[in-house]
Structure formats: structure tokens, C-alpha cells
Amino acid sequence: MRRLTRRFRTVPVWLLLLPLVACGAPSWEGIAIEPPREVPSFAFGMPSGDSVRTAPEAGRPTMVFFGYTHCPDVCPLTLADWARIKRELGTDGTRVRWYFVTVDPSRDTPAVAHAYAQQFDSAFVGLSGDSATVADMQRAFGVTSYQTPGASDAEYLVSHSSQVFALDASGRLVTMYPFNGASAAMLSDLRRLLR
């Protein structure tokens, strides 16, 4: 037994580290998209008359969430999480692009969607457009939504996918996060994306 221990002590340290090196970069804290997927860019009109394109910007990762302004729970909680994460990131939080995309363009005009997102943080951008553009963007991310009846025709709810998506600075979808309880994972992955 003593002889075996002596032999083990003579193994070079780099051999012990080899399995760690072979594993490559650490995995994402969120649900990794392997391989990362290219996502087309979309253009949305803003209340100011300007246009916002979701095309990638060098050095700026992007967070995307699909929701709607009449949402009673998932949407406000997700945007509140984003606000906390942005504060935790400090000045780096301004390098992240935060896009709230409506799944209810008939009620959420560009002005309504943008004002809603900005209630949580002035850096958040609320996006809305014609139904075809919104549907195309949902399809690109694999997001589904459908209306469920409310007390009146105007009070319907919209059931929708609730995950958050993270894109790297090249515009590739790299990871996503389920609703609720993913704040720490988003924060960790954003720090990695901002390095």
C-alpha cells in the first residue's frame, strides 16, 4: 500500500489536470443551446419614430423575453428579475441589450410596450410591431402564444412561452432560462458573455 502511494505522488500535476482541460470551456448556467444558433434580426418602430434592429452589436450581448403588458404574473416578475440582475452587473449592465417583445401586438402598440418595459428600467426596450413581424420573431425563437378568453372580448389573456433567451455579441442564441428561479444563472452567464 505504501509503494502505491509513493508512485501516485510522482505523477506530474499536469496529468491530473488533463481531464479538466479536455472538458473545454465550462457549460452555461442556463439551458445551453448546442451548437449556438444564428437568429435573424428584426426591425421594430419606436414611439419616437426611430427604428430598433435586433441585429448584433460588437461587445453587447442581448437578453430577449416575449410577454405582454396585461400579463398578471410571469412578465412583471421576469422584468423585475432583469432589473435586479442589471443592478448587480453595475456599469456592465449598460452593455447588455434588454428586449421585451410583445406577444399581443393588437393591444400593445410600440408606445405601450416600450412604456411598460421602461417602468422596470430605463435601459429596457419594449418592442411591438405588426402581427407578421412579431410572429416571425416568435418563430425564430421557438416561442408560442395563444389567446384565452377573459371576462370580455377586450380582457383576454395570452398564454405564452415564458423562457428568457441570451444571445452573444455575434447574435447567436447560446442559452435560455426557464421562468422563476433562474436569476443567478442569468447573472452568471451574462458576466461570462461580457468578458
Tens place of pLDDT for every residue, the chain, 195 residues?
444 444 434 434 333 443 444 445 558 999 999 999 999 999 999 999 999 999 999 999 999 999 999 999 999 999 999 999 999 999 999 999 999 999 999 999 999 999 999 999 999 999 999 999 999 999 999 999 999 998 788 889 999 999 999 999 999 999 999 998 799 999 999 999 999
Q: Give all domains of the chain, ordered by start, each with its CATH number.
A: 60-195 (3.40.30.10)
Read off the pTM: 0.85
Residue among 74, 53, 34 at smallest CA distance from 172: 34
Dihedral, 60, 63, 64, 67 alpha carbons, nearest 10? -140
Bridge partners of 148?
157
